[in-house]
Every structure is written in C-alpha cells, then in structure tokens.
Structure 1
C-alpha cells in the first residue's frame, strides 16, 4: 500500500535561515537519474534492503532512495532545502510504504528520542552545517541497537588528492549546494558513540572526480 502525508514544520527549527538552491535541485535530480542508470540504483537498493521497521531518511533531497524501501514498515523523511522539497513532494508516491515529510534540518530532527529502527543518510553528510550535531541527532532518534545506513563521499586518502580537494572546495561548495569534499563521516559516527561502524568503497563509473571515494556502510546506536 502506498500513501503519503505531510508534516508541518516551520523553518524556525533552524538556527539560521534555510538557503534554497533551485538550480542545483534541478541539476541534482538529473544527475541522480544519470548515476542511477549507470549503476548507483543497484547500490542504493542493496543498502536500503536493510532498512527495516520505522525508518527515517535524513536529507532526502530529490527522492532518489524512495523506491528502494521495500522492507520498511513506514518512512519519515526530513529535508530543509525549499527547492529540494518542491521536487521531493512530486515524487513521494514512488515509495512502496507510507511517507511522512518534514521540512527540517539534520541538526534538529523533529522526532522523539528512540523512535526509529533505521536511519538512512545518503550523500547528505557532506553538506550539513554541523556534521557532529547531525550524527548525534541520528543516534538520538534511533532505538537502542538501531542501525544507521549510509552512502557518502569522503576525503581522498592520498595527500596529493586531498590537497586538490581542499583547493577547489570553496568553489565546489558554492556550486553544489554546500557540499564539502573532505569530510570523514565514519570518524563522526565513532565520535558520536556508534558501534559496529563498518564501511567499504563503492566503485561507480560516473561521479564527479573530486567527489570520491564513495563509501557505503552501517553503524549501530
């Protein structure tokens, strides 16, 4: 059974005004369609098959993950960007389970402690304003023993490639909706007290060269 509901959350949940990225939202939707056809859809599907029970997706963007929640009971998604929300609202019926949409940032998730069995983050922790706070919020809303599933691009392992990322990062951030190239989400999960943190490289034929490597993984609250 498919269904959708819309939560109401004022932008006052954020500590500062929410920026809208209308051009990037259109570009990102098209980019996701291209990368999904090139094999990223299979990566999403394999990871999200593990998303069970009451599921929360943080930073749902333009909804690329929605069709892959085949083992979830229900789905809640949070997304702060008004331009992304505009696209996302037109695609909620792609999900095979009921969806609740909440306009809210990753650093202030509008749900109670211990509410979710699974939290999902895909290509979002690169652009949150406060990485550690976002990860701490993911842990807060998970039930004890609950799982976070993630796909993220991270800083390059070689010093030379990392320096290149650092040089272009200020321009990249402006062009790609606040995206940062050098973050380390695995370390953030460990700092937040997650256990069983595991990640592996994802090899894709098409992704912007500076935004790699890409990893997928999981951790326990």
Structure 2
C-alpha cells in the first residue's frame, strides 16, 4: 500500500497535480540516444522519490528520472501502477558519467540503499510495484548485476530477492513526482522517516548502509 497511511493527507494536493512533461521513453532511447560520454542504469528500489534522492547524491550521476517499467500496460499512470495490476515497478533511470562512477559502483550503492531480501515490497510500501529489480541494458550490465547480487547475498547471509531482468519500455512518471524531495522537502522527510526506510537499511547493512552516497 503506497504511502497511504503516512502521507495520505499530505499527498492529496499532489494527486491532482498537472502531468506536464509526461511521455514514454522506449528502451532504444534509453540505450542508444544519448551522448557517447554518458551511460544509463535503471533500478527499482521501492519509492522512486527515495531512489532518486539517493542517486542524486552519488558523485558522477548526471540525471535521475522517476518512472515506471517492467509491466504490460502502455503509458501507465501512478494510479495504474499502484493498483498492482500492471506488472510495472516504480523505477529510476540514472544517467551517469562513467569516467567518474562505474556501473559496478552504482550497483554497490543500489544494494546498500535498499532491502534486497524483501520480495514483497520495500519498507512500508507493499506490493510488486515496490519490489526491487535491476533492469539491464546489455549483457555486460547483466553479468555485473549478477555478480553484485551474489556479493550482497554473501555479505548479508540471506537470499536476495532483487530481480535482474532486461530493460523494457521506460515511462517517465508524472511531473509532480520528479525531484519530489526537492519540491516538497517536509512531506518527503515525513514519508521517509515514517516509512522507516533508513532505519531498516542501517539495521540490515550496518556500517555499509548508504555507502557511496554523499551526505
């Protein structure tokens, strides 16, 4: 259940916000139509507000876009996705400078900023749309993701539930979701604290929690 108990009243205004800038992005765009000196990663880590905020604080990351991917419905809305009928997950498309940060480093950040052992969602958000996944854009990313998953399993001593699947159509989320933590800092902090996201990550990962994320 998406943030309902924690931010229902706070989100009422956002639920009817304008959706300017909403447009689908195909895997071809995600993989090929970008400057030669940047690369792309796509991760699902529960609430995309939080994933976006975390990766915006990783040196070498150029841009983050919250969106939906992995499902069967074309042009899904937020309400479609949280109905848990579309197969889509909340995800973030990350554009980064490989001269400053590697895909492997991004994978390390990803695993240590989520609970990869939870198959049913993340923290207070339950359902497939909030479960973790790595959407790989090529064979090299797939191999690196599999290695990072194995390392996470060894470090935690627990089964890793994070799926590793080929990237599909990526649909940017409604405009009001983009940079939510900057546009609505108080609401964002209330949600993140109330959902106990950081508390769970720190309990699970200890000193490795949030490694690679600049404070």
Please confirm whether the aligned pair reaches a TM-score higher than 0.5, indicating the same fold: no
Higher relative contact order (CA 8 A, sep 6+): 2
Larger strand proportion of the pair: 1
TM-score (norm 2): 0.30
TM-score (norm 1): 0.29
Larger helix proportion of the pair: 2
